[in-house]
Amino acid sequence: MDIRPRVTIALAASIAGLLASYLYAGILNPLQVEWLLQEGDLLQHFLGWHYYRHEEWSWPIGALHTFGTEVRSSIVFTDSLPLIAIPLKLIQAWLPDPFQYQGLASWGHVVLNATAASCIFSRFRMPALVVIAFSLMVAFMPNVLFRGPGGAGHESLMGHWTFLFAIYLVLFRQDTGWGTRSQWGLLLTVAVMVHFYLFLLVGIFWGVWWLLGSIERYHFYIQHNLKKRWWLGWGSYSLLQPLFILWVMWAVGYLHSSGDSPGAGGFGFYSAELATYFNAYSYLPGIASASALLPSWVPSIVGQYEGMAYTGMGVLALWIGALLLYIKQPLRISAEYKWQLYGLAVLAVGLFVFALSNKIVIGSYAVSLPLPWPEPLRAILRASGRMVWVLMYLAIFAAALVFARRLAPRPFIIVAYAILALQFFDLYHWHRYFHERSQEANAYRMVEDPRFVGWQTPALQQALSRRQALHISHADDIVGMLPLAWLAGQHHMTINVAYVARITLPIIRQASASSLQALSVGQLNPDVMYAITSPETAQNTCAFANVQCVATPMATFAWQPTPEETK
């Protein structure tokens, strides 16, 4: 790549960074952490990292031992971004405590999305200004922002750059030499350490590249009578690459869980609507629609927020314009890219159909889709709606390519910025919503939150500082108990049960059973602080003479006082 595309890519990433700073200005400071108490999943992600950083190294290196001492889990199952958590653990002694990277990670995903998109657009022989315009459009897609802070609170799923780079490798790294293999190995490893669904998409794209490469190399070796070399060289790589990724998954903690099966139902609920690219329904409180121009409708299945993929009016205009240009004069597919494009097209359509799950839904209308998806696939990929992303991006790239081949540079620049302006105007309220949520997060103060009245009681703070663990007696509402884990984490205490992926109610109750038993007979462990959320249990426990209690709106804290505390 010469210097000009690199400068273009750097400019696109820099501008995306400036715009993302506007969206997330209130949460970028890693020293500000209290705003996470308003969140659910984001607080879980922070707590996984916070507990992990203070633990001793163990194997697997991503294992968690103090955040849920009675359950088996890892930073994979707290979605704490192992890609960031593991390197930071190496230098955790030099980091402030507490320290959050959820805001910066969200910012980084947007910048990397722009970077990956600009790498692809730069290969279409577009003017640099067009590459920047289209890359910004891709970086701030509504479904990307929806996943992060202020939205669904799952910032790892903002990392669409993972499979965008995979698309780039399929299209523009057709050779199967060690350089390309190394790029795939690095990308697969990184994707594993970001999120399983994103890794899966990268793995599927690797499969397309591998299949096409296998066919090409096989024909080459047959023609040159080197069939044995094919098996020894390419065959060894085909085996070792998956084995290495499985080892990485083991190392970061994918196999370290006491949870139930990967999918506890949800296939068909966490799906995508057939018209998801055109429905601007926001799924978020406080904003009815992502679009300022198009009407939206309420989906009949609540879980279809997983398939939320409204594209924006700019993208819709791009698609319509490209379709008209293509009808007027179809593009010829170069023989060099023929099979790559066919493979990506089939893959994108197949993933879109899978995203629909077992129903075709538009608003309140639904038609069964009797496709025999295998049960293991349905269990592992229960949030099938996320698979709509691939077709959306490939359609954007295809439409941009049509424009690039049919318009001269100057009118193309004008059209591209008209499309970008339409896109940002249509999504103005959407972007402002996330900016305002960021500012609200910045203004949040824990002392003003009625949930935490009484937490600063001197007797309670003193008792917390002298104990090693916090045990929750009733944690059926495991998400609602996250602030208690926060409290324990601020005092560097362990906690018996925690909100992690794949955890079930029987596991939660089993994890808290011994604490509940101790409370029922008044035999409290002197090294443990107990958080009791059942009024009846609290009343019975606090009636014992050797128990001291402090009642707060969230829980009644009970402990056995030491002689120093009874003076």
pLDDT tens, position by position, 291-316: 999 999 998 888 999 999 999 999 99
The stretch 272-281 carries a mean pLDDT of 95
Residues 245-260 have pLDDT tens digits of 999 999 999 998 766 5
**Using CA atoms, how far apart are residues 411 and 408, in angstroms rounded to an integer?**
6
Query: How confident is residue 263, by pLDDT bands cut at 50, 70 and 90?
Result: very low
CB 297 within 8 A of CB 363: yes
Query: Where do the DSSP E strands lie in 239-323?
Result: 281-284, 287-289
Average pLDDT value for residue range 357-378: 85
Buried b (16+ CB within 10 A) or exposed e, 200-230: bbbbbbbebbbebbbeebeeebeeeeeeeeb
- Range of weakest confidence among 3-12, 14-23, 221-230, 492-501: 221-230
Q: State both tokens at 450.
A: 């009625």
Contact 343, 209 (CB under 8 A): no
pLDDT of residue 218: 63
Position 413: which residue type? I
| Single-letter amino acid code for the residue at 480 | G
For 199, half-sphere exposure in the C-beta direction (CA atoms, 13 angstrom radius) is 22
Summary mean pLDDT of the chain: 91
- Average of pLDDT values for 163-189? 93
Q: Report residue 549 as tokens.
A: 């209690």
**Lowest model confidence (mean pLDDT) among 56-60, 329-333, 419-423, 516-520:** 329-333
pLDDT in tens, 448-460: 999 999 999 999 9
For residue 219, what pLDDT band results from cuts at 50, 70 and 90? low
334-348, 350-364, 548-562: least confident range:
334-348
With cut-offs at 50, 70 and 90, classify the pLDDT of residue 329. confident
- Comparing CA positions, the residue from 467, 468, 483, 470 lying closest to residue 561 is 467
Q: What is the mean pLDDT of residues 269-284?
A: 94
Using CB atoms within 10 A of its CB, is residue 233 exposed (0-12), middle (13-18) or buried (19+)?
middle
* C-beta pairs of 206-212 under 8 Å, 24+ apart in sequence: 206/166, 206/241, 208/170, 208/340, 208/343, 208/344, 208/347, 209/169, 209/170, 209/173, 209/174, 209/184, 210/238, 211/343, 212/174, 212/339, 212/340, 212/343
Using a pLDDT cut of 70, give the percent of the chain over it: 95
Asked whether the predicted pLDDT for residue 3 surpasses 90, the reply is no
Report helix angle 535-542 to 505-521, nearest 10.
Answer: 30
How far apart, in whole angstroms, are the C-alpha atoms of residue 289 and residue 282? 5
Say if residue 428's pLDDT is above 90: yes
Closest CA to 472 of 458, 461, 482: 482
Distances in Å between the Cα of 550 and the Cα atoms of 69, 156, 453, 491, 553 are 24, 38, 11, 17, 10
**In this structure, what are the phi and psi dihedrals at residue 405, rounded to the nearest 5 degrees?**
-90, -15
**Which SS3 state, helix, strand or coil, does residue 8 take?**
helix
Are the C-beta atoms of 478 and 497 separated by less than 8 Å? yes
3-class secondary structure, 508: helix
Tell me how far apart the alpha carbons of residues 143 and 306 are, in angstroms, rounded to a whole number. Answer: 9
Compute the distance between CA of residue 213 and CA of residue 217 in angstroms, rounded to an integer.
Answer: 6
Helix axes 3-24, 428-443, angle to 10 degrees: 60
20/139 Cα distance (integer angstroms):
9
- Half-sphere exposure (CA, 13 Å, Cβ side) for 17? 11
CA separation for the pair 5, 150 (Å, rounded) = 34
Which range, 287-291, 372-376, 379-383, has the best average confidence (pLDDT)?
287-291
Residue with tokens 């969200």: 106
Rounded Cα gap, residues 84 and 107, in angstroms: 13
Phi, psi of 281 (to 5 degrees): -55, 135
Is a pLDDT exceeding 60 seen at residue 327? yes
Taking the C-alpha atoms of residue 303 and residue 320, their distance in angstroms, rounded to an integer, is 29
- pLDDT value at position 222? 61
* 545 burial type by CB count under 10 A (0-12 exposed, 13-18 middle, 19+ buried): exposed
Report how far residue 190's alpha carbon sits from residue 204's, in angstroms, rounded to the nearest whole number. Answer: 15
